[in-house]
Structure 1
Amino acid sequence: MPQKLMKSAHYIELGGRYQYWPVLVPRGIRLYTYEQIPVFLRDNPYITDGYRAYLPSRLCIKSLFILSNETVNIWSHLLGFLLFFTLGIYDMASVLPATRASREDYVIYSIGLFCFQLCMLCSVGYHLFCCHRSEKTSRRWMALDYAGISIGILGCYVPGVFYAFYCNNYWRQVYLVTVLAMILAVFFAQIHPHYLSKQWQRLRSALFCSVAGYGLIPTVHWVWLNGGFSSDLVQSFIPRVLGMYAIAAVAFLFYVSKVPERYFPGTFIFIA
């Protein structure tokens, strides 16, 4: 390696080993092992290396452009936000006008899309700033991430319930009010000082599963109102609804069981 380049390069310590990185790596950023990070960052012992820690806000932002065990989390959600944003502009400018959508359609579509985008941005913020040197700041971003998940769930419910019960205003209001009340209950639960603790981890999971699983009630009701599974309308839409729940269930199982890193500790450092 040329001597000039060697002098301008920075090194990042990674698990007791030294790995060469390009000049673009900001000074002051170091990657740590699981044993070296603060206790509040120790969530998955099977991810053994690649942790950012002890960083001020400025370096948290700069760490967006280095490879760490949060890189995939950050960029997948950031690109997800950009995807929803781009699709939203396209649909608002082309698709909805072509279908002669009403003002109601624009409002409901905007609510759902805004919720999805906000969910993505909250997750980006958490995965970017979770390594902050202040535990209080890190916890605040974690709380915002959980709030974003709730908002994302709300974004799924509002358009689904609104159009499923479009011709039944009573049940539409019942289900929308119930969902909103459940989301608000989750928000209030987050105020509790122990909500983000590891002792409440199962309770947090149970709360989100309850809110998400509640959607099966209006789904079954909608199937019944439309003549059961023999209805062409039901046969057209129910596979999509069940498919969405199946994907969510599989993702949740991967998250809870910590698979595949549980069986290959230290292997999935940069794609966790």
Structure 2
Amino acid sequence: MHQKLLKSAHYIELGSYQYWPVLVPRGIRLYTFEQIPVSLKDNPYITDGYRAYLPSRLCIKSLFILSNETVNIWSHLLGFFLFFTLGIYDMTSVLPSASASREDFVICSICLFCFQVCMLCSVGYHLFSCHRSEKTCRRWMALDYAGISIGILGCYVSGVFYAFYCNNYWRQVYLITVLAMILAVFFAQIHPNYLTQQWQRLRSIIFCSVSGYGVIPTLHWVWLNGGIGAPIVQDFAPRVIVMYVIALLAFLFYISKVPERYFPESGMKNQGISCHITWHPTWTECTI
């Protein structure tokens, strides 16, 4: 009987173990928080609607089912198409009509490309976070963090380039500094503990520091242009402030786990799946 079960079993990676066979549904099923692997247990307030134990083919297929990652996947995917469309529109209509220089085309292209990479990396992570290989999940998580860094770089490149358009020295100083910070974040991801739960707070501090660094060139730009009373400062400074307020609110929602903290039962229902786990030295049985 055990041999027959093992022939139809899938193989997944469980923590430090190499490969363990596990009998899982051949189709896509949704699980509760208690049934999913430890690597997926990031938010205890989301109680069900989890995808798990899926091969790559079914991960892609799960793009079209309703789960607790549906909004994350499609919001970033639509964001990618938005920036892609804006890129085509800007390159073919806006910039030519404004008699933009070659530098303007390059900076605009870099900015929008960084945003598109950020969106696609997030799509990949949320889509493949349910992969049966924990190593694959962590690789996509690393790409997601790398994408966030690239998105931040896109914001800085365009902002610094035009804020210090008439001051080539400070433009180079801030661009080099930002690039060095982004590269430092990339190298930090090499550390084996970077993606663990223990380093979650450190990761948040790193990204907040990289994002908050923008306050320094902003204040410098305000000072170079005559202070807050200058017309150009009054035109553009509120937009920068609004951008940082939105980013701060998004971060607060993320770390406080709102609104799911107050509506823990509002996730996807489990669709009647019951999973009985029977441990054995060489196999794990999961009955549906």
TM-score, normalization by structure 1: 0.89
The answer to whether structure 1 residue 108 and structure 2 residue 107 are counterparts is yes
Distance (Å, rounded) in 1 between the aligned partners of 2:210 and 2:268: 31
Structure 1 residues 217 and 230: alpha-carbon distance in aligned structure 2, compared to 1, 3 A threshold: same
1:263 shift after superposition: 1.4
Shift of 1:268: 4.2
1:146-198 CA-to-partner distances (Å, cap 9, x unmatched) read 00000000000000000000000000000000000000000000000000000
User: How many percent of aligned residue pairs carry the same amino acid?
Assistant: 83
Take 1:191 and 1:31, find their aligned partners in 2: how far apart are those partners?
Answer: 32
Matched, 1:258 2:257: yes
- Number of residue pairs matched? 245
Residue 266 of structure 1 and its aligned partner are, at CA, apart by 1.8
**What's 2:165 paired with?**
166
User: 1:102–1:130: structure 2 CA closer, same or farther, 3 Å change rule?
Assistant: same
- Amino acid in the other structure paired with 1:211: V
Counterpart secondary structure, 1:32 = coil
Residue 211 of structure 2 corresponds to 212
**Which whole-Å CA distance do the structure 1 matches of 2:222 and 2:188 have between them?**
33
The alignment's C-alpha RMSD in Å is 1.1
Residue 157 (structure 1) aligns with: 156
Segments of 5+ residues of structure 1 without an aligned counterpart are 1-25
CA distance, structure 2, for counterparts of residue 50 and residue 111 of structure 1: 37
Displacement of 1:248 in angstroms is: 0.2
Cross-structure match for 2:183: 184
Match of 1:125?
124
Structure 1 partner of 2:7 = none
Residue 23 of structure 1 is matched in structure 2 by none
The CA deviation at 1:27 is 5.8
For residue 257 of structure 1, what is the amino acid of its counterpart? S
SS in 1 for 2:88: helix
d(CA) in 2 for partners of 1:62 and 1:180? Answer: 37
Higher relative contact order (CA 8 A, sep 6+): 2
Displacement of 1:269 after TM fit? 4.5
Q: Distance in 2 between matches of 1:269 and 1:208?
A: 31
- Correspondence 1:24-173 to 2 at 5 A: 28-173=27-172
User: Which letter does structure 2 place at the counterpart of 1:73?
Assistant: N
Residue 134 of structure 2 aligns to which amino acid in structure 1? E
Distance of 1:261 and 1:74 partners within structure 2: 18
Q: Which amino acid aligns with 1:264?
A: F
Paired residue type of 1:68 = S
Higher percent of residues as helix:
1
Amino acid at match of 1:172: R
CA offset digits 1:119-145 (Å, max 9, x no partner): 000000000000000000000000000
After TM superposition, list the pairs within 5 Å mapping 1:190-209 onto structure 2. Answer: 190-209=189-208
Which consecutive segments of 4 or more residues in structure 1 shift more than 4 A?
A: none
Structure 2: which 5+ runs fail to align? 1-24, 270-288
| Distance in 1 of aligned mates of 2:115 and 2:39 | 28
